[in-house]
Structure 1
Amino acid sequence: MTDDESDGVPFVGTSTSLDAADTMEEVSGGIYDLIGVKGKASESLPGVTDCSGKDTQTHFRIFHPWSFTPASAGDLDEAMDRLKRELPKQGWEIVEYGPNTSKNRSITLTADNDKKKVSVKVIKMAKNDPPKLSLDLVSGCYKVPDGEEVERSEGRTAGHGRVAAHSSERGACPIIGPPAVTVLGVAARHCCTAAALGAVSRPA
């Protein structure tokens, strides 16, 4: 097994986990800008998880679950439609779009960005109160610089995320799933699926 690929997960490159988390926040911020309707983003921060089959002290992936709640529930469709329309213009390939297998048959979009080595899964949670988009991003596999180890906890505080900073209003939302990962600075939970790069998912 080489650093180029691990169980189908692409190798991103060499980086500290904190720098990789900053990069992921920038990716999330770019997606937020594409939504293009008034609303608020949650204040979730990126976290660190393992690369399958790799040394957990030297290799890692970054995940970033967050949500977007439009100011008007009627704008939810427009927000999802804009992502479907605009993501491909920014280097994303939509690999899945349509109703998922949940009870609500929620519309789900999964897209990969080969250049950024990031996958995103977006679920339109129309039955939620209030309705919102649930977004989950996950990176390929990173390797820390020689002589360093993966940093899994640092003095980052909730509310400093770039996505929330872009939002005119702020509101936190829970991150759901088993405690399998570490968020940089805050406790969180998440669960993974095998879709695309393995985009983090939550119940719809």
Structure 2
Amino acid sequence: MKNTGPGRVAKPSKVRKMLGYTPEVRKVSQAEDEVNRMSSRLVDAMGIPGTPSHIPAAAGPCSAIDPDFTTYYIVDHPWALWRADADDFDTAMENLRSRLPEMGWRITKDGPMNSMARNPEITAVHTASGHRVAIEALKTRSGDLKPQIDVTLVSPCYQAPEGTDLSRA
């Protein structure tokens, strides 16, 4: 489906077919709060000292069905664990391997990233909610970049309640 003009949204009859599920109607603030809580639990599951970045989760377009961000949205939360000792990264990834399944996550990839550094990466899907996460232990980085663990947590698509102005959400 081509969405070329403003306000182009997939018809409700096609949304389920395109996504494979029917988006839940949910207030943006509730979806953002849920993702922030999930991120906090991921920090705890790593079990190593460090400082998580303080970037809050934010709504963005569910581009598959609503690239103009008028009715459907996702919540994206990219963040990092800084000031963590790279020697602890293996422990963090091992903790995640054992703890994610206990927390309802199904690991879909566990291995080296497709990069020269071959840093470890875990991707997973939360089986109940459909959230997805990618966790990269960046022990080796180019230039003067310090080691950190990068996390990107993304919700499934949601439908904003009627009357919601997503441009102000």
Structure 1 residues 135, 147: closer, same or farther in 2, change over 3 A?
same
Residue 153 of structure 2: aligned partner: 137
Q: Aligned pair in 2 of structure 1 residues 72, 105: CA closer, same or farther (>3 Å)?
A: closer
TM-score when scaled to structure 2? 0.80
Quickly say closer, same or farther: Cα 1:18–1:87, change in 2 above 3 A: same
* Higher RCO by CA contacts (8 Å cutoff, separation 6 or greater): 1
Contact kept, 8 Å, 2:69 with 2:167, in 1: the verdict is no
Name the SS for the 1:101 alignment partner. coil
Larger % of helix: which? 2
Corresponding residue for residue 72 of structure 1:
85
Equivalent-residue separation in structure 2 for 1:48 and 1:33 (angstroms): 24
In the other structure, the counterpart of 1:21 is: 32
Q: Which runs of 5+ in 2 are unaligned?
A: 1-12
The match for 1:34 among 39, 45, 70 is: 45
SS at match of 1:76: helix
Question: Can you list the C-alpha shifts for 1:161-193, whole angstroms capped at 9, x where unaligned?
Answer: xxxxxxxxxxxxxxxxxxxxxxxxxxxxxxxxx
Residue of structure 2 equivalent to 1:44: 55
Distance change in 2, residues 1:111/1:11 (3 Å): farther
Conserved in 1, the CA contact under 8 Å of 2:84 and 2:148? no
* Alignment-mate amino acid for residue 47 of structure 1: A
2:15–2:65: 8 Å Cα contact kept in structure 1? no
The percentage of counterpart residues that share the same residue type is: 28
Asked whether 1:86 is paired with 2:102, we answer no
Q: Report the alpha carbon displacement of residue 116 of structure 1 after superposing the two structures with TM.
A: 2.0
Q: Distance in 1 between matches of 2:44 and 2:120?
A: 21
Q: CA deviation at 1:56?
A: 2.2
1:182 aligns to what? none
Q: How does 1:142-181 map to 2 (within 5 A)?
A: 142-152=158-168
Specify whether residues 103 and 116 from structure 1 end up closer, same or farther in structure 2 by C-alpha distance, changes over 3 A only: same
Match of 2:109 in 1: 96
